[in-house]
Amino acid sequence: METITQVALQFLAITVAFTVVLMIVAYTVLAERRVLGFIQGRLGPNRVGPFGLFQPFADLLKFILKEEIVPDKSTKFVYFLAPMIAIIAALMPMIVYPFGPAINLPFIGSITLVIARFDVALLYVLGITSVGVYGIMLAGWSSNSKYSLMGGLRSSAQLISYELSLGLSLIGVILVSGTLDLYSIVEQQGGYWFYVIPRWNIFPQIIGFIIYLISAIAETNRVPFDLPEAETELVAGFHTEYSALKFALFFMAEYVNMFTVSMLATTLFLGGWQGPGVAQFPILGVFWFLIKVAFFLFLYIWLRGTLPRFRFDQLMNFGWKFLLPVAILNIFLTATAVFIGTIYGWW
């Protein structure tokens, strides 16, 4: 009976978490359109509901009701499978992110605000997110279109290249923390240095953080690294031949991936739920976590409104000739500091 109750609670937690994430993603799209409108001196969507708050629901209804056009020469099974791979790979990492400390609830007792906690959660996140590139590649190939194929080829080169730098940028955090458990990494970032500076990993790992941030922007195909979807060059790239709800799944997967990498950056570098007042009121941890994630999402939008797109050769040169060597240098410096600190008892 207890096992059935635990399974039911986990199923409920997963359902609530995915629903909340999808709602946040929907309103992130609206926020992006409004913020970009402000940056560019225009209004953005403000007609559907008060302040345009019902615009995401109008967009969803439009995607559902639009006519779906499937290319005659496409490989049908793979064509339909590709957007499913993209959205599933984007959503699955959500279950391991701790978005708050343990709290006590009436009639339930103490619960930990993470759906699934295990020792290698960080490896799980990296493994699942790396699968997302297959959705983009298969979409480009299965459409049997030169435009889509070119977008798929660009994405395979870009995402694999920057995924290497992204993974290496996290090794410094692993060396400092000594664990792959995301919950433990957040717990270790509690407290202060010199009673003022939070013990967040961003301070000893500022180089790793910058590398992660740049690589994450490239990994999610966002400006200035949106080469797989460069509309002016590729007519939208790998999803040129997709329409209606299947196109919406690719669109949603991109924004879910933005949310995912923002949550990972918050967890690994900005202390996760750690913040003022959390020790006295643990539920405040959820507030601090969401505020930090919102900061990264705003940064994505801000960059899109201000930076031009890289050329493809500049993109690849920057990834392989600059980011990758700096990421390896960061590993060497961190390992040296940890080794010396361990010998002299500083660590």
pLDDT in tens, 7-66: 777 777 778 878 888 888 889 999 999 999 999 888 888 888 888 899 999 988 988 888
Q: Side chain identity at 25, as an amino acid letter?
A: V
Per cent of the chain over pLDDT 90 is 35
Q: What is the pTM of this model?
A: 0.90
C-alpha to C-alpha distances, 200 to 13, 35, 44, 208, 270, nearest whole angstrom = 28, 29, 37, 13, 5
- Output the six-digit token pair for 63: 């995607």
Place of tokens 């919950």: 183
pLDDT of residue 81: 92
The whole-number pLDDT of residue 276 equals 87
Please tell me which residue, 106 or 289, carries the higher pLDDT value: 289
- State the pLDDT confidence band at 234, using cuts at 50, 70 and 90: low
pLDDT tier at 137 (50, 70, 90 boundaries)? confident
pLDDT at 67: 85
CB contact at 8 A, 49 and 55: yes
Cα within 13 Å of Cα(208), Cβ side: 27
Local structure of residue 229 (DSSP, 8 states): G
Pick left, alpha or beta for residue 125 (phi over 0 → left; psi -120 to 50 → alpha; otherwise beta).
Answer: alpha
Contact status, residue 193 vs residue 199, Cβ threshold 8 Å: yes
Q: Is the pLDDT of residue 2 over 60?
A: no
Query: 219: which residues sit within 8 A by CB, 6+ positions away?
Result: 129, 159, 162, 163, 166, 257, 261
- pLDDT tens string 171-188: 999 999 989 999 999 999
Cα 328 to Cα 172, 210, 325, 338, distances in angstroms:
10, 13, 5, 15
Given a cut of 70, whether residue 1 has pLDDT beyond it is no
What angle, 0 to 180 degrees and rounded to 10, lies between the N-to-C axes of helices 206-219 and 244-269?
180
Nearest CA to 189 out of 341, 263, 197 is that of 197
Give the strand pairing for 197-198 and 103-105.
unpaired
